[in-house]
Amino acid sequence: MRDLLLGRQPKDFDVTTNARPEQVRQLFRKNSLLIGRRFRLAHVRFGREVIEVATFRGPRDESDSGERVTVNGRIVRDNIYGSSVADDVWRRDFSVNALYYNISDFSVIDHVGGMADIKARTLRLIGNPSTRYREDAVRALRATRFAAKLGFRIHPDTEAPIPVFGGLLGEMPPARLFDEVLKLFHGGHALESFRLLRKYDLFGRLFPATDILFNQGESGFMHRLLECALTNTDARISEGKPVTPSFLFASLLWEPMQHLARRNQESGMNLVSAFEAARREVIAEQVKRVMLPRRHAAMIKEIWLFQQRLARHANKRPKRLIGHPRFRAAYDFLVLRAEAGDEQVRDIAKWWTDFQESNEIPQRNPIKKRAQPRRRRQKKKS
């Protein structure tokens, strides 16, 4: 409803009902799938479309077995069901996300002033903000994301506690934070999300190694690099081009990796060992905060490793590198560094650009032909 009222094309439509998830599953059978432990939901498939069906939430009851709350007030399981919109609305996070379209009379149901907040372009938490952030600290990230996406101001009562409760993000599962990072940076408003994360002291909760360098004043090139990377990401998304978490994280963690590699060299390591150890350690520390699937972690390391190979192979058998499946991502990252002002790679990036424009680039075929079975020679009958 929110996006429709703002004149935007909704990404998807969610359905709420008084039917329990198991009842939805029984009704749609093979076309449905139950997901989620914290919030039990049903995904119902119609062709290529997937409709998320949520059961109405009900008022909190400490004795209810469907809810589990930590001593700090964080809700880790919330499967207390209600029977109506009037029950469900108070469990939503922001007023602008608590608007319901009634298909029986085509009306909009608004119990919490969401329509007025949309008109005022204001993001406001439902209920006591401190309690709501304590229940789920990810709401601080969601506030940042929606403010960036919608261009809304955050209501002062909702805004003030964000830096205070941002520390609770350390209690969140790293896998969940990975999903939230992708929503923040792959939603078409990455640069503004980054600026708001920094404003509310949330960026360091997600990328502590990078934030330490910001706080140490070593942020000139790094800040330009991230702004270039996020601006390019937003542009690609607006043009309908693909983006990858690997490139995003390679940009966000590049300077911490470089900083650690230099320290390793100062401690006596040779160049190769220093960078190998730095790549391994930076990734290992980052996944403690924000989980990275192994394939993305491996690709990040390859993008970084290729920066050295691109420098070595300029003017020397370059076509061998161009055929590598990671060449394009590594080359794009090299160009990004040059655009951000890294003088050491400016000439190298230009050389690779000129080489590709002036040569026919061999295309790597990712699909290998299946080997044909050899026909056995039949023996002649005597």
Distance of CA 87 to the CA centre of its chain: 31
Q: Three-state SS string across the chain, please? A: CHHHHCCCCCCCCEEEECCCHHHHHHHHHHHEEEECCCCCEEEEEECCEEEEEEECECCCCCCCCCEEECCCCCEEEECCECCCHHHHHHHCCEHHHCEEEECCCCEEEECCCHHHHHHHCEECECCCHHHHHHHCCHHHHHHHHHHHHHCCEECHHHHCCHHHHHHHHHHCCHHHHHHHHHHHHCCCCHHHHHHHHHHCCCHHHHCHHHHHHHHCCCCHHHHHHHHHHHHHHHHHHHCCCCCCHHHHHHHHHHHHHHHHHHHHHHCCCCHHHHHHHHHHHHHHHHCCCCCCCHHHHHHHHHHHHHHHHHHHHCCCCHHHHHCCCCHHHHHHHHHHHHHCCCHHHHHHHHHHHHHHHHCCCCCCCCCCCCCCCCCCCCCCCC
Catalytic residue among 14, 157, 347, 354: 14
Determine whether 176 is exposed, middle or buried from the number of CB atoms within 10 Å of its CB (0-12, 13-18, 19+).
middle
Buried b (16+ CB within 10 A) or exposed e, 289-302: bbbbeeebbebbbb
Catalytic residue among 78, 88, 93, 136: 93
- Amino acid (one-letter) located at 150: L
Report the C-alpha gap between 141 and 147 in whole angstroms.
10
In the annotation, is 14 catalytic? yes
In the annotation, is 332 catalytic? no
Strands 153-154 and 122-123: parallel
In the annotation, is 78 catalytic? no
Active-site residue list: 12, 14, 93
